[in-house]
Chains A and B, each alone.
Chain A
């Protein structure tokens, strides 16, 4: 017992040092690691993808006659913003409803076109056929044509993100 009593001030001081050394280094490591993990793993604050791109005047569209529209859209890649050419097939289904289809066949991504004679979309690669409202008529295409979000402002058609049908926003 006597021995322990003698050693006590020495060991408590040592324990005090050790506690502080480990504690402070713990705090420093955490304060460096946490921001580093946040920096590496949290997604950047995105400039929100609410960009609507003007894609022409809808008053010129004839009902049920698709028109291929070319427009430029900004693509944000990290610190780079590049302007890209994109196309859409725009159809006026009724006075209230204008639809813009993505330009690629849903089978393997070939560019399809509008067949005047048969009044449907035909993909030249594997003969997938889509009706004017984008539904699959025949061929290997697994799902209807993708659609851009659309809205109309002052007679101008605005296009948003390209989505698969079903995930469509109303």
Chain B
């Protein structure tokens, strides 16, 4: 015996760990086992990824409304690797739903739930429900508008359940409104109750799979059995790797939504659930009035019941998957129904308001700028200043870093410099900027505001806002109106306009102010369609 063998022997003698692993890996599986049975392992892997990334997120997350939102923004904009971590957790949730459903589909198609595997199937159905419960409770935790209003709808639906509705509502802490209590309940469920429940059910599920063995296909009884390791483990590993690679790429590439801080007074917000709940959401719309309960409570309950009862209804002999035409047909119908409802929900989604399209996972300091400063960003981009200047971070370019040099200059100096660069800075290779004095003044206003701290944040201003502010400035709206505390109070201040008016109203008002507000002294404005779109969008994202 080498020392290595002796060490293994010692450890195994005391813990039994080696025998355990060996028994686990060298389990006998049917000859027909193959690629179609990888989904269970992938689901388990994804659950572990969710637990891991969830714990890491919790290290930087404050679980109270308000702070929750701020800390999540902190994770996404300041913590190194935070954006990736939330991406993994967010898309991992979606992916887990997909993989769990694929797993169930495979088991259903092959009829693997048949006697004596009914309990395994029921544990699986419960795990599916738990997966959805994570999705539902986790949805509230960012505490942005999307989270808040989505949860308002969820709790309202729960309230409709006959008899238990009010109790359910009390349990969720939302008899009055969705607020601090609901938040604490959802957070508690999401991180304290659901994970151990899932863990226990997974253990039970896997134990039952082992107890009954992997379900054989007809014909397996006469073929020699295989070992789980290494061939099937190899297949599982490849499938897990593919799933993980897709998840990683999504986490890096696809934007994870974060909207503005939850605003319970924002009555214009149209809540949408996560994509995998859209079919339910659409089902609700089919039933109105007294029948509403059919969509909210009766149908979902029947669906879950049907899932649980599957192995008790289909009790025939094990047949080949190719001969299970009825199961295939049921599955196809379910898939078509699901897809149809989901597509219908997506198609009928109204265009989200502009404010919802702003990415709040990026710095949004530009929202606080006055119109003249924001318009300056428009000119800054038009003149393509960044082709010669760095702003804050990045490789040094031919011109000076504007974030650190502009602080010491005045607007007058800058305007002179823009007109005749070499006169102010001898030897400067900068070409003169061909803009009017008013426009140069605007550009200077932005540059004066710029410093090393806010450079990146200000540059993330979206195109429509910079263009809208530019038009606002050109049309001299500021001589009668106020935005972000800058301007004149002759007309109504424009912050909070989106609360008072619709976009359509504002568009018509631009064209003919007196028609909508008699006695107004505002002149009509003829904007091109794209100008109109930009300025209305800009006015509608202004903070309240």
CB distance from A126 to the nearest CB of B (A): 40
Are A18 and B230 touching (Cβ within 8 A)?
A: yes
Are A79 and B73 touching (Cβ within 8 A)?
A: yes
Contact bitstring B221-254, A, C-beta under 8 A = 1, else 0 = 0000000001101100110110010001000000
Contact bitstring B447-459, A, C-beta under 8 A = 1, else 0 = 0000111000000
Interface centre among B77, B88, B241 (most CB of A within 10 A): B241
CB distance from B278 to the nearest CB of A (A): 30
Are B81 and A42 touching (Cβ within 8 A)?
A: yes
Are B452 and A48 touching (Cβ within 8 A)?
A: yes
A38 to B75, CA, bound (A): 13
Q: Can you name the residue of chain A whose Cβ is closest to the Cβ of B59?
A: A40
In this complex, how many residues of chain A approach chain B with their Cβ under 8 Å: the count is 28
Are B74 and A31 touching (Cβ within 8 A)?
A: no
CB distance from B182 to the nearest CB of A (A): 22
Judged by a CB distance under 8 angstroms, whether A80 is at the interface is yes
Judged by a CB distance under 8 angstroms, whether A5 is at the interface is no
Which residue from A25, A32, A43, A51 sits with its C-beta under 8 Å from B80? Answer: A43
Are B85 and A80 touching (Cβ within 8 A)?
A: no
The B interface is mostly helix, strand or loop, or mixed, namely helix
Contacts of A9 in B (CB 8 A): none
Judged by a CB distance under 8 angstroms, whether A8 is at the interface is no
Q: Can you name the residue of chain A whose Cβ is closest to the Cβ of B251?
A: A35
CB distance from B260 to the nearest CB of A (A): 16
Given known pairs A17-B231, A17-B234, A45-B80, the reply for A78 and B52 (CB within 8 Å) is: no
A47 to B52, CA, bound (A): 28
Contact bitstring A18-54, B, C-beta under 8 A = 1, else 0 = 1011001101100110011011101111111011000
Contacts of B248 in A (CB 8 A): 31
Which residue from B49, B234, B237 sits with its C-beta under 8 Å from A32? Answer: B49
**A window 68-117: CB within 8 A of B:** 78-80
Contacts of A46 in B (CB 8 A): 78
Judged by a CB distance under 8 angstroms, whether A169 is at the interface is no
Are B238 and A38 touching (Cβ within 8 A)?
A: no
Given known pairs A14-B230, A18-B230, the reply for A39 and B80 (CB within 8 Å) is: yes
CB distance from B524 to the nearest CB of A (A): 42
Interface centre among B77, B78, B240, B244 (most CB of A within 10 A): B78
A39 to B49, CA, bound (A): 15
Are A39 and B74 touching (Cβ within 8 A)?
A: no
Are A32 and B73 touching (Cβ within 8 A)?
A: no
A158 to B77, CA, bound (A): 28
Contacts of B314 in A (CB 8 A): none
Given known pairs A32-B52, A36-B56, the reply for A44 and B240 (CB within 8 Å) is: no
**B window 51-76: CB within 8 A of A:** 52, 56, 59-60, 62, 67, 70-71, 73-74
Are A39 and B81 touching (Cβ within 8 A)?
A: yes
Are A50 and B231 touching (Cβ within 8 A)?
A: no
Contacts of B506 in A (CB 8 A): none
Are B453 and A78 touching (Cβ within 8 A)?
A: no
Are A35 and B453 touching (Cβ within 8 A)?
A: no
Are B71 and A79 touching (Cβ within 8 A)?
A: yes
Are A50 and B451 touching (Cβ within 8 A)?
A: yes
Contacts of B70 in A (CB 8 A): 79-80
Given known pairs A39-B85, A50-B451, A79-B67, the reply for A45 and B244 (CB within 8 Å) is: no
A80 to B64, CA, bound (A): 13
Are A79 and B234 touching (Cβ within 8 A)?
A: no
Q: Can you name the residue of chain A whose Cβ is closest to the Cβ of B407?
A: A153
Are B237 and A35 touching (Cβ within 8 A)?
A: no
Given known pairs A21-B233, A47-B453, A48-B452, the reply for A39 and B79 (CB within 8 Å) is: yes
Are B81 and A38 touching (Cβ within 8 A)?
A: yes
Interface centre among A14, A35, A42, A47 (most CB of B within 10 A): A35
Are A27 and B241 touching (Cβ within 8 A)?
A: yes
A37 to B70, CA, bound (A): 23
CB distance from B97 to the nearest CB of A (A): 21
A43 to B453, CA, bound (A): 17
Judged by a CB distance under 8 angstroms, whether B84 is at the interface is yes
CB distance from B245 to the nearest CB of A (A): 9
Given known pairs A44-B78, A44-B80, A79-B70, the reply for A25 and B452 (CB within 8 Å) is: no
Which residue from A21, A38, A78, A79 sits with its C-beta under 8 Å from B230? Answer: A21
Contacts of B62 in A (CB 8 A): 79
Given known pairs A17-B230, A20-B234, A78-B74, the reply for A39 and B82 (CB within 8 Å) is: yes
Q: Which residues of A contact B (CB under 8 A)?
A: 14, 17-18, 20-21, 24-25, 27-28, 31-32, 35-36, 38-40, 42-48, 50-51, 78-80
Other A-B pairs, 20, CB within 8 Å; known A44-B74, A51-B453: A17-B230, A17-B234, A18-B230, A20-B234, A21-B234, A24-B237, A24-B238, A24-B241, A25-B237, A35-B81, A35-B85, A39-B56, A39-B84, A44-B78, A44-B79, A44-B80, A48-B452, A48-B453, A50-B451, A79-B67
